Structure 1
Amino acid sequence: MLLTRTPLALAAALGLSVSLGACATSTPYQSAEVAGQEFGYSSEMLGADRYRVSFSGNEATSRETVENYLLYRAAELTRQKGYDGFYIVRNETQADVDIDTVPTAYPGWGPTWNYYGAGVGWNTFDPYLGTAFPLQRVTASDQYSASAVIEMYRGQPPMGADNPISASAVMARLGDNVQMPEA
């Protein structure tokens, strides 16, 4: 009986891991403002040359990717608005850590101490009587989101601007690594 279950259980586990693996793809560079999109970039105008830009990734998107996509969006927005560069006034990256404990289905039995008969007392260790193993699998997943307030400029950066960033240079450096959504 055990031999007939093993290949079936293995096939089921393999099928489950393949189907879950297909769902675990990194968030592409896309607008989160489109209806139905939970992940991606968004921007909000705060002033004539000041914007809040953010990017949220799913569980398969690394922190580095989220921060790079935020920077790419800031550069893209800067170019779309007719500016040459920007500097970051304030930025923040947050991690939402989710820890799940999932009981696993294991068809085994574990040895335990059992009581035999009325008034006889506790039996010694008996490997044939017992309860199911309390097996659990702990999984942790991180979701990152980053936001920044940027101020844009034309020509030379204003005096006192810390770390001015050329929008064209950012787009050239990061452009090949940006994963666009599939059509």
Structure 2
Amino acid sequence: MTVKNHVFFFKKWNELWEYSFRIKHDHHDQGAFNEAFFQCGIGNTLLDGAWNCQISQGGLLFLEKAKIIHYFSSEAAGKNYISYYKLADKTLQMRIKESGSIPDDIKQMILNPKFQFTGVHLINDKRIISIMQSPLVFTLADIKEKLPWLFNFMEAQVSFIRGIGKKLSSKH
């Protein structure tokens, strides 16, 4: 696709999104993107997960090779939503808005988008990815929120069992 086609594509995408947002009251951009993709003659091509890595929607699997990272999901923006992506921090966005330009430290973050996660130290452990997307995790979160005493009890039991397991594995 040429630069001219890119410009046309992005203008068409924006036009369709504006219509979708203002007339249909749909803030999602995917439908407008798909329609612009089709109208611009690019075709109807299935892109793999590297081109649509939605972190909050099971995208951790594709993060390593991601070309586009969606770090925010409006569906996940409920009262318990905490963005674990530094570039989603509203204070950074306000700094850009107030200064009218992108400060150098934020430019450096943009140049290394795969390393801008906060407090997510398990993200590189491939054993954990499917567990993080599991209903079990959300069930535990609900238990912790509604029955903290039960969660603490369960955590103590699991910690005890894990300790025994570590001792047994170190003897072999």
**TM-score between both structures, scaled by the size of structure 1:** 0.21
Q: Which has the higher contact order (CA 8 A, sep 6+)?
A: 1
The structure in which a higher percent of residues are strand is 1
**TM-score between both structures, scaled by the size of structure 2:** 0.22
Larger CA Rg, structure 1 vs 2: 1
The structure in which a higher percent of residues are helix is 2
